Structure 1
Amino acid sequence: MNQDEAPPAIRSVALPSHDPYAAFRFANFNLYMTGNLLAIVGRQMLAVAVEWEIYRRTHSATALGLVGLVLAIPVVCLSLPAGHLADKYSRKHIIMVAQFFSAIASAGLAIVSWKHLAIPAWPILQHGNNLLRGIAGIFERHQSSFHFDDFSVPLIYLLLFVSGTARTFAWAARSSFFPTLVPRDAFANAVTWNNSVFQIGSVAGPAISGFIVAHISFSCVYVIDAICSFLFFLLVLPIPRAPAREKRKEQNT
């Protein structure tokens, strides 16, 4: 046999065809990824717009940094309870409830941003502004440059906390819900596409947000985020519940 000629056993083995769109052959994955893309774009749009608006209202770098803190507190404090809840109850229902509250919070941000000059000077909002002014005074030297006289600012932080809490519970449930959308042999492909969708949304969201803020308003961005969250709610609705919990019960009995 010629040394350059491959053995018959090796030549007869056919390499398996790779399907780069294997995950998209499943309807549940398509529904989820469409909603996930909308949610990521909306979330990135909101993050850019709310930081921009807070700085315009206060001219305070500390107030800008507090946006990240308010969004991080639910992640740090509620990730473990959210994971426990996702293990105990329907992940689909948790995602839907979380997206509903996220949409409500974004709609609230739109109203607060639109009517910020008409918000009454309630004592609790005055105390909130005084607290924010005191915190900013600790970290900033030029105290004359910032101001906390807009009563919408404490409400924006409150609604951001609600939104961050909802998305913390949604993220925990989505992490467990995602593997049930495709069979095991398509899971690696699904993860690849999920990462790609995240990158696309992370790039597109801020760009769209900047354009809308520059040409329309902050409140329009918040309305779009609310619509994106509600569309995710509707897209998850027809996806059947994962049977994993029932299988675990059968194995334990």
Structure 2
Amino acid sequence: MNTPSPAPGDAPQSIARNRGFQRFWGARVLASMSFQMLAVAMGWHIYALTKSAFALGLLGLAQFLPMFLLTLVVGHVADRYDRRRIAAVCQSIECVAALTFALGTFGGWLSAPMIYVLAACVGAARAFESPAISSLLPGVVPRAQLPNATAWSTSATQTAQIVGPALGGLLYGLGAGPAFLACAVSFAIAATLSATIPLKARPPSRAPVTLESVFSGIAFIRSQPVILGALSLDLFAVLFGGATALLPVFARDILHAGPLELGLLRSATAAGALAGTIWLAHFPLRRRPGLSMFGGVILFGCATIVFGLSHNVVVSLIALAVLGASDVVSVVVRTSLVQLRTPDEKLGRVSAVNSLFIGTSNQLGEFESGLTAGWWGAQPAVLVGGVATIGVALLWMKLFPGLRDTRSLEREDAHATASAAG
């Protein structure tokens, strides 16, 4: 029997009434917002202690290295154990780390080395949390609602990226201790919500650990040209189009703006992305999602070029908002392809590789933008990055015709079987 597809206006409402998705969304909002608040507070505190920009770079490195080193391990863990418990344990560890930060600031014994150690603990916890929470969604909502749920889930992250830094800065104005304490409370609530998410599917079985199974996530992605194309397209698009890393330079030297405008510029991308996720939640990509992804990446490159050419704050804000909205198309298509085309027993390992692609593109993108800006200047670096992003999208359309021509987020064979059965 062929189940009719929900109308665009009905799907978000049915998802909103799903108790499991409500808790999933709440946990993701609180955990992401807490991390954004914690990142602001850690950054301010380490700079206040050291007065060193290099120390800020080490802080980011301390969080990134555990994710890079643990990629194969965390994916296997997510496929062998209850993903709700993994997320809850990780968020509890982050809660303890934030509480330690708070006690250290209240007691006056929080040193720079201690901050790096705690930051590494947070990075390791997030390394396990990210694939577990990403691969949890298919067990929370029906497959038919997964693209809509992915869009709403993405909106949780975007909301956190808008609210979290501002709230962290506001609380830090009251003192470092209260800011860290608020992070701890928020992480604790997120852990409680994660642990109590009801699942529609059984937790993954504990398959034997072998060398082949550890690397099976990478092997699966290599065997799926559509998924490999989507992941690598997003990787190189973000790698070359990392204009946001140079926002302080643009705000001060090109737009001749102050810190308030810099804050607005930082929020513009996330605000555009949030608007894009809400739009996609109501009007999901039902036809030719591959072409939509390529179109989004090309628009991302065009918006990057406009931002690089702009000398007006309003034009720059609009360009960054369009950049964020277009990037969401790529995020939703990539995430939906991974979740809908990956067997559940491998989803954690594939999601871990996906998380590594995202983290690597963000980190290397910031490095690439800073390096090219040092060579050519900020504006030429952004312009070259925007042109390179468009070039990558056009090249990938030829290299990955399966992604370009894909008609559904589901596997083509499964989609055809379902249509025949109907």
TM-score normalised by the shorter chain: which range applies?
Answer: 0.7 to 0.9
Aligned to 2:418: none
2:104 matched to 1:112? Answer: yes
**Structure-1 separation of matches of 2:119 and 2:136:** 25
Aligned to 2:127: 168
Q: 1:186 to 1:108 in 2, by over 3 A?
A: same
**Structure-1 separation of matches of 2:87 and 2:101:** 21
1:174 Cα offset (Å): 0.7
Aligned to 2:168: 209
1:199-240 deviation line (CA, Å, top 9, x unaligned) = 1110100111111112x1112111111111110111122223
**Structure-1 separation of matches of 2:156 and 2:85:** 23
Aligned to 1:68: 60
Contact kept, 8 Å, 1:91 with 1:177, in 2: the verdict is: yes
Aligned to 2:349: none
1:175 Cα offset (Å): 1.3
Contact kept, 8 Å, 2:81 with 2:204, in 1: the verdict is: no
Aligned to 2:416: none
Aligned to 1:221: 179
1:5-42 deviation line (CA, Å, top 9, x unaligned) = xxxxxxxxx99632233321210000111111111111
2:92 to 79, 100, 109: 100
1:160 Cα offset (Å): 1.0
Contact kept, 8 Å, 1:21 with 1:189, in 2: the verdict is: no
1:182 is paired with a residue whose SS is coil
Where do residues 39-54 of structure 1 align in structure 2 (5 Å cutoff)? Answer: 39-54=31-46
Bigger drift between 20-29 and 80-89 goes to 20-29
Amino acid paired to 1:81: V
Give unpaired runs (5+ residues) of structure 1: 1-13, 120-150, 249-253
Identity of aligned residues (%): 34
**Structure-2 separation of matches of 1:16 and 1:219:** 48
Contact kept, 8 Å, 2:81 with 2:203, in 1: the verdict is: no
2:22 matched to 1:17? Answer: no
Higher relative contact order (CA 8 A, sep 6+): 1
Aligned to 1:199: 158
**Structure-1 separation of matches of 2:186 and 2:7:** 36
2:198 is paired with a residue whose SS is coil
Contact kept, 8 Å, 2:101 with 2:180, in 1: the verdict is: yes
1:95-142 deviation line (CA, Å, top 9, x unaligned) = 1111111111110111112222xx3xxxxxxxxxxxxxxxxxxxxxxx
Aligned to 1:38: 30
1:244 Cα offset (Å): 5.2
In angstroms, what is the RMSD of aligned CA positions? 1.9
**Structure-1 separation of matches of 2:151 and 2:5:** 21
**Structure-1 separation of matches of 2:5 and 2:164:** 40
Amino acid paired to 1:90: D
Amino acid paired to 2:146: F
Aligned to 2:189: 231
**Structure-2 separation of matches of 1:72 and 1:187:** 29
Give unpaired runs (5+ residues) of structure 2: 208-422
**Structure-1 separation of matches of 2:187 and 2:171:** 18
Aligned residues: 200
**Structure-2 separation of matches of 1:74 and 1:240:** 30
Aligned to 1:78: 70
Aligned to 2:213: none
Amino acid paired to 1:225: C
Normalising by structure 1, we get a TM-score of: 0.74
1:245 is paired with a residue whose SS is coil
2:7 is paired with a residue whose SS is coil
**Structure-2 separation of matches of 1:85 and 1:104:** 22
Normalising by structure 2, we get a TM-score of: 0.45
Contact kept, 8 Å, 1:22 with 1:189, in 2: the verdict is: no
2:142 matched to 1:183? Answer: yes
Larger Rg: 1
**Structure-1 separation of matches of 2:204 and 2:107:** 46
**Structure-2 separation of matches of 1:15 and 1:86:** 31
Q: 1:223 to 1:15 in 2, by over 3 A?
A: closer
1:27-75 deviation line (CA, Å, top 9, x unaligned) = 0000111111111111101111111111111101111111100010111
